[in-house]
Amino acid sequence: MAQHQFQTEVSQLLHLIIHSLYSNREIFLRELVSNASDALDKLKYLTVADDAYKGISFEPRIDISFNKEAKTLSIGDNGIGMNESDLIESLGTIARSGTKAFLEKLTEDVKKDTNLIGQFGVGFYSAFMVAETIEVISRKAGEGEVWKWTSDGKAGYTIESAPPEALGTPQGTHVILHLNEDGTEYTNRWSIEDIIKRYSNHVAFPIYLTYDEKEYDDKGKEKASKTKTERINSGTALWRRAKSELQESDYTEFYKQLSHDTEEPLFYIHTKAEGTLEYTTLFYVPKKAPFDMYQVDYKPGVKLYVKRVFITDDDKELMPPWLRFVRGIIDSEDLPLNVSREILQQNKILLNIKNASVKKLLGEFKALADNHQEKWETFISQFNRPLKEGLYQDFANRDALFELVRFKSTTVAGWTSFADYASRMKSEQKYLYYITGGDEKTLKASPLLEAYTAKGIEVLIMDDEIDDIVIPTLGKYKEWELKAVNRSGADEELGEKQDKQAEKESKPVIEKLKKALGDRVKEVKLSRRLHDSPSCIVADEHDPSIQMAAMLKAMGQTEMPDIKPILEINGEHPIVASLKNTEDEQRIADIAGVLLDQALLVEGVKLKNPADFVKRLNRLLVPYPKEEL
Could you say which of 494, 511, 544 is where a domain stops?
Answer: 494
> If pLDDT is split at 50, 70 and 90, which confidence band does 11 have?
confident
For residues 333 and 444, membership in a common domain is answered with: no
What letter would DSSP give residue 308? T
pLDDT digits (tens, 9 = 90+) for 158-192: 999 999 999 999 999 999 999 999 899 999 999 99
For residues 58 and 177, membership in a common domain is answered with: yes
For residues 260 and 368, membership in a common domain is answered with: yes
Cα separation values, 413 from 120, 377, 378, 410, 465, Å:
36, 13, 16, 8, 21
Which of 302-306, 414-418, 505-509, 530-534 has the largest mean confidence? 414-418
Question: Which residues contact residue 314 at a Cβ distance below 8 angstroms, ignoring those fewer than 6 apart?
Answer: 299, 300
For residues 413 and 349, membership in a common domain is answered with: no
pTM: 0.74
Is the pLDDT confidence value at 256 over 70?
yes
Is the pLDDT confidence value at 629 over 50?
no
Residue 299 CB-half CA count within 13 A? 22
Question: Tell me, what CATH number does 467's domain have?
Answer: 3.40.50.11260
Number of domains in the chain: 4
pLDDT over 70 percentage in the chain: 87
For residues 357 and 243, membership in a common domain is answered with: yes
> If pLDDT is split at 50, 70 and 90, which confidence band does 22 have?
low
In a domain, 93, yes or no: yes
**Exposed / middle / buried, residue 524 (Cβ in 10 Å: 0-12, 13-18, 19+):** buried
- Give the residue from 594, 493, 486 showing the smallest Cα distance to 534: 594
What letter would DSSP give residue 448? G
Per-residue confidence (pLDDT) for residue 33, from 0 to 100:
92
User: What is the arithmetic mean of pLDDT over 398-421?
Assistant: 96
3-state secondary structure of 335: coil
Alpha helix segments (H runs only) across 457-584 = 467-470, 500-517, 546-554, 574-577
CA distance 384 to 403: 12
Could you say which of 494, 510, 540 is where a domain stops?
Answer: 494
Is the pLDDT confidence value at 549 over 80?
no
Per-chain mean pLDDT for the chain? 87
Answer for the pair 179, 29: CB distance below 8 angstroms, yes or no.
no
pLDDT digits (tens, 9 = 90+) for 301-330: 999 988 887 888 888 889 999 999 999 999
For residues 129 and 114, membership in a common domain is answered with: yes
> If pLDDT is split at 50, 70 and 90, which confidence band does 93 have?
confident
DSSP H or E stretch at residue 175? strand 172-179
For residues 424 and 520, membership in a common domain is answered with: no
Per-residue confidence (pLDDT) for residue 461, from 0 to 100:
96
> If pLDDT is split at 50, 70 and 90, which confidence band does 434 have?
very high
Check the CA dihedral 472-475-476-481 and report its sign: positive
Show the domain range for 490. Answer: 404-494
Beta-sheet strand order (sheet of 566-569)? 523-526, 566-569, 535-538
Could you say which of 494, 526, 556 is where a domain stops?
Answer: 494
> If pLDDT is split at 50, 70 and 90, which confidence band does 67 have?
very high
